[in-house]
Structure 1
Amino acid sequence: MKILSGKLFNLPFFDINSIWLILVISGMMFSCGPKVQELDYLIVNALVFSGENEGPIHTDVGIKGEEIVFVGNSGQKRLKAVKVLEAKGLILAPGFIDPHTHLDRDLSSPEYQSNLASLMQGVTTVFAGNDGNSPLPIGRKLEEWERNGIGTNAGLFVGHGAVRRVVLGLEAKQPTAEDLTEMEVLVAKSMEEGAFGLSTGLFYAPGSYAKEEEVVALAQVAASYGGIYDTHIRDESSYSIGLLASIEEAINIGRKTGIAVHISHIKALGTDLWGKSKEVIALIESAQKEGINVTANQYPYLASKTSFRATVIPRWAEDGGNDAMLVRFGNLEIRNRLIQEITENIRIRGGAEALVFSESENPIYDGMSLREFADMRKLSEAEAAMAILTEEPNLGVVSYNMVEEDLKNFMLKDWVVTGSDGGSGHPRKYGAFARKIGYYAHREKWTGLSFAIHQSTAKTARILGLDRRGLIQEGYFADLVLIDLERYLDKATFESPYELAEGVEYVFVNGNLVINKGEFSSDLKGKALRLNQTKK
């Protein structure tokens, strides 16, 4: 029986040796073909947003270990995946990056270290130590997170206020040359331990007591390590030097040091500033044309949340800390001055009815406005403010003091990224990214979807100096989110601020599937991030 035709191979005949040779050659040819690429996960049929401000494409994404190792048409490659994730009807984006939170305590708590509030929005990396208030030493906190585990990646800024408290306490005094040197050493040490830059809270005591020259000196240290200057500016309203002068101060710090300036939760706060967003934008864009690197982050809400004390009490009355403040409350010689200034600060914030207590030690006060408290106690608004702070010096307040025009104007700028300012008692902790992308971009069409995702991923990563995060690209860390866009919404409200967002189906953190079909795996796969490591 003839197995092969000699004519077909242009050979006169075949014997058994010839057949064997052909089979060996064929095997060699097959073995020299493309190798099978082994994957842990292959995500197919998703609509993929790369993280750049560009239209989405239908493509497949492969993960091996911690990294994205394949982006393309899986049907044209020899791939073998442990798990194929069918993602038809979902969008795939880089994990969102939150540049401004107050989650350092959450990440250190066994109850909240998973950071589920962020994960269920699709956030895979968060930053803390903002507003000048950071843990110290930085290295010790990062090592703690590595040892105990965290649900998302996390980085830290070194807080100017924290450094100032170590060296100068809570007093409204200026540093000597020796004091300033000690502060510079603390900032340098923090940068060497992995801080991503210097943060300030120049609105808050004790940061508010610092003059510009002090901040310039410390920002210069952070700049020498490649860090940025993240600032809650001195005045977002009309408390002291005003919003525009505070923006100019931040720009000037960048001008003097060469440091990249990042303005945290940019806004026009209070009735005196409504409609001023265009002037703020013009000032910043003029500085950008000058060559100064200025960016900002924004949370997509019309109400802020901060300490009630910082909202209504003048800074001079806080000099020396809480005990000194309470002594001043009882000093009849200065009480009239206090009442006048507290009354004006309440007006700036939109009135006593616009100030709603949050995170009270006494639950009956939660959700109560200053107006309601004053009526209940039969006190003037200013006297009521001092009375409740005597009872609860750490009371929080939600302040309804912004307008939609300004919110939108800032949101549409390509140098403004999404941030939550996430902390307890405000829905932004549980909903900022879902509200920005799911509501304002997808439903209200304020921005394009690619633009909103870019503002939450690649743009943020570049501002912060993050290496290989924020893009869907081969060689990048596999921080990824898959979202059912029609269901993607924030559920947290001011009345119920602790509701998880909906619509996130899958989340990968460093290549690990931690949200699977909307359910948390309980795996803590986040990393403590350090600037000096990501720069290597």
Structure 2
Amino acid sequence: MAILSCSAISAGALAQDYDVLLRGGTIYTGSDAPFVGDVAIAGDKLVYVGPRASGKAKRVIDAKGMIVSPGFIDPHTHVGDMLAGDDAAERLVLPFLMQGVTTAFIGNDGAGDPDVASVLGRPRSHPVGINYATFVGLGAVRNKVIGPVDRAPSADELARMKTLVATAMCQGALGLSTGLFYAPQSFAKQDEVVALAREAAVRGGIYDSHIRDESSYTIGLSGAIEEALTIGREAGLPVHIAHIKALGVDVHGQAGAIIAKIEAAQAAGQVVHADQYPWSASGTGLSASLLPRWAEDGGRKAMLARFDDADTLERIKVEMRENMRRRGGADSLLITSGGPDISGKTLAQVGTDMGLDPVDAAVAILRKQSASVASFNQSEADIAAFMKRPWVMTSSDASTGHPRVYGSFARKYDKYVRQEQVVPLRDFIERSSRLTAEAFSLQGRGRLAAGSFADVLVFDPERYSARADYVQPTLFAKGVRFVFVNGGLAVEDGAPTGVSAGRALPRTATSHCP
């Protein structure tokens, strides 16, 4: 039935010439059962998806034995700097293309620049290798108006923040993103977030949140999920839970209860979905993982002043030890940036090298610089439980020093589809493409169908896997044969071509815009 539907849609294209014909691959359209057939590209669009194309093509690619799927869409990344940089090679975003990721979202965790027009307009002068869309972020808005301080906004400040969000939405933002775990966003109370989320809601946006607590730091994992759902209900917009997880020994095993809470909200009519990266280690800052939030009130200068006060530092270290415990101890924190003398070592090893207790070593590091960590804090049972849900899409949370930049989609396929069979191949593909496109209203993306944009991935099902790991996090994935972005050939025979065919993807506001 699926094949007939594809063929019927494309019947008018059978006699036309194609730029590229992918012949004889196993096609996963993103929404239909797989079948062996052809995919044809003309310009930036797909013009045929079905059992056997006729007509002439400038180039025919033998895809026999290969999987042909929509290009993958990553809803949670931190590659905004790569996309905006002056280095043309970096703007290709090869770590993504070499996995078949053709579209990424930026501005997550509350970091989205409110000047969305500039963010989305840059490819006109600085071409990019992948498509991207952006959020407007609570953190960026709050910093612009209030700064890194622990207080509520005044009525005038809140009005200015709301205007920034509204303007960003009218310029094409996907919605409002928050990182309520991180200072200074952690200082924002629920009513402040609701007020800003309403500005996104009336313009058709989504509420995307790194929730306030994925562990047992403050209100707990369950309480933070409930807060996100409440914000969505009160503001009147869909809720997206960023990188859903149960982080730390205190909440291992809670995935089932969290799933039940979310699905109860869905059953009551609320739109809720989530993304997940397929790694047991999260990636964050050393300060975010260990420092109490009050110690960061006022920014780095204020933090250092607290370190210099002996009594205050002792209070900080007491809370740091508890935070280290909930994350599994100093051996579970791998330093991924901060200098060659510490990068690639656990906090326990760094402490030994310094002759210091791990907490004292962390303070010493933070006195000098910021540092990033891979924090091994999740259980495989919880990862699998979330991964199986039909509303959980694939993501990377791509951040420097963590192998998830180079290997998330490939790892999910190799480990959780092929080896452990946690999810079927069709589910993996659909939750890496069509589900994300539909949830975020990306028109013409996420499916292989005539008329859709030609974002296409061809990969070898026997070889597709991640090479990056925690020791060597910057190795390209293997097994990707061809990648097309808007019809441009970005990866050919497993090698990047240097083609910059990506586009900025503004979301069209539904109303309340000039």
Shorter-chain TM-score: what band?
A: over 0.9
Which of the numbers 439, 447, 450 marks the counterpart of 1:471?
447
- Residue 364 of structure 2: SS of its match in structure 1? helix
Aligned to 2:508: 532
* Pair 1:82-2:58 in alignment: yes
Amino acid at match of 1:113: R
Aligned to 1:439: 415
* Pair 1:383-2:363 in alignment: no
> Compared with structure 1, are the counterparts of its residues 382 and 70 closer, same or farther at alpha carbon in structure 2 (3 Å cutoff)?
same
Amino acid at match of 2:23: V
Stretches of structure 1 lacking an aligned partner (at least 5 in a row): 1-32
* Pair 1:373-2:350 in alignment: yes
State whether residues 170 and 509 of structure 2, in contact with CA within 8 Å, keep that contact through their aligned partners in structure 1.
no
Map Cα deviations across residues 392-429 of structure 1 (whole Å, 9 max, x no partner): 1x210111111100000000000000000011111111
1:481, distance to aligned residue in structure 2 (A): 0.3
Aligned to 1:516: 492
* Pair 1:298-2:276 in alignment: yes
Aligned to 2:395: 419
* Pair 1:171-2:149 in alignment: yes
Aligned to 1:500: 476
> Compared with structure 1, are the counterparts of its residues 443 and 333 closer, same or farther at alpha carbon in structure 2 (3 Å cutoff)?
closer
Q: Partners in 2 of 1:492 and 1:453 — Cα distance?
A: 21
Aligned to 1:190: 168
- Residue 244 of structure 1: SS of its match in structure 2? helix
Map Cα deviations across residues 226-245 of structure 1 (whole Å, 9 max, x no partner): 11111000000011110000
Aligned to 2:292: 314
1:533, distance to aligned residue in structure 2 (A): 8.0
Amino acid at match of 1:45: G
1:82, distance to aligned residue in structure 2 (A): 1.2
Q: How does 1:33-48 map to 2 (within 5 A)?
A: 36-48=15-27
Q: Partners in 1 of 2:66 and 2:35 — Cα distance?
A: 12
Map Cα deviations across residues 47-90 of structure 1 (whole Å, 9 max, x no partner): 000112x4210121111111111122435x4x121111111111
State whether residues 40 and 82 of structure 1, in contact with CA within 8 Å, keep that contact through their aligned partners in structure 2.
yes
Amino acid at match of 1:99: P
Q: Partners in 2 of 1:304 and 1:36 — Cα distance?
A: 51
* Pair 1:126-2:104 in alignment: yes
> Compared with structure 1, are the counterparts of its residues 212 and 534 closer, same or farther at alpha carbon in structure 2 (3 Å cutoff)?
closer
- TM superposition score normalised by structure 2: 0.95
Q: Partners in 2 of 1:533 and 1:132 — Cα distance?
A: 20
Q: Partners in 1 of 2:52 and 2:385 — Cα distance?
A: 41
Q: How does 1:55-66 map to 2 (within 5 A)?
A: 55-66=33-44
Q: Partners in 1 of 2:48 and 2:308 — Cα distance?
A: 68
Q: Partners in 1 of 2:426 and 2:493 — Cα distance?
A: 24
Q: Partners in 2 of 1:272 and 1:72 — Cα distance?
A: 50
- Residue 37 of structure 1: SS of its match in structure 2? coil
Map Cα deviations across residues 340-387 of structure 1 (whole Å, 9 max, x no partner): 111111111111111111111x20101122112222323333222211
The CA RMSD measured in Å over matched residues stands at: 1.5
Which of the numbers 281, 294, 303 marks the counterpart of 2:259?
281
> Compared with structure 1, are the counterparts of its residues 87 and 533 closer, same or farther at alpha carbon in structure 2 (3 Å cutoff)?
farther
Aligned to 2:237: 259
Q: Partners in 1 of 2:195 and 2:223 — Cα distance?
A: 20
1:192, distance to aligned residue in structure 2 (A): 1.1
State whether residues 258 and 292 of structure 1, in contact with CA within 8 Å, keep that contact through their aligned partners in structure 2.
no
1:290, distance to aligned residue in structure 2 (A): 1.1
1:35, distance to aligned residue in structure 2 (A): 8.1
Stretches of structure 2 lacking an aligned partner (at least 5 in a row): 1-11
Q: Partners in 2 of 1:236 and 1:133 — Cα distance?
A: 18
Aligned to 1:9: none
1:335, distance to aligned residue in structure 2 (A): 2.3
Aligned to 2:47: 69
- Residue 472 of structure 1: SS of its match in structure 2? coil
* Pair 1:115-2:93 in alignment: yes
* Pair 1:49-2:28 in alignment: yes
Q: How does 1:206-355 map to 2 (within 5 A)?
A: 206-355=184-333
State whether residues 114 and 164 of structure 2, in contact with CA within 8 Å, keep that contact through their aligned partners in structure 1.
no
State whether residues 146 and 528 of structure 1, in contact with CA within 8 Å, keep that contact through their aligned partners in structure 2.
no
Q: Partners in 1 of 2:238 and 2:44 — Cα distance?
A: 30
Q: Partners in 2 of 1:452 and 1:119 — Cα distance?
A: 17
1:199, distance to aligned residue in structure 2 (A): 0.4
Amino acid at match of 1:47: T
- Residue 148 of structure 1: SS of its match in structure 2? coil
State whether residues 131 and 199 of structure 1, in contact with CA within 8 Å, keep that contact through their aligned partners in structure 2.
yes
Which of the numbers 182, 194, 208 marks the counterpart of 1:204?
182
- TM superposition score normalised by structure 1: 0.91
1:497, distance to aligned residue in structure 2 (A): 0.2
Q: Partners in 2 of 1:35 and 1:47 — Cα distance?
A: 20
- Residue 335 of structure 2: SS of its match in structure 1? strand
Q: Partners in 2 of 1:445 and 1:34 — Cα distance?
A: 38
1:534, distance to aligned residue in structure 2 (A): 11
Q: Partners in 2 of 1:409 and 1:430 — Cα distance?
A: 24
Q: Partners in 2 of 1:198 and 1:147 — Cα distance?
A: 27
State whether residues 466 and 534 of structure 1, in contact with CA within 8 Å, keep that contact through their aligned partners in structure 2.
no
- Residue 91 of structure 2: SS of its match in structure 1? coil
Q: Partners in 2 of 1:254 and 1:326 — Cα distance?
A: 37
Aligned to 2:7: none
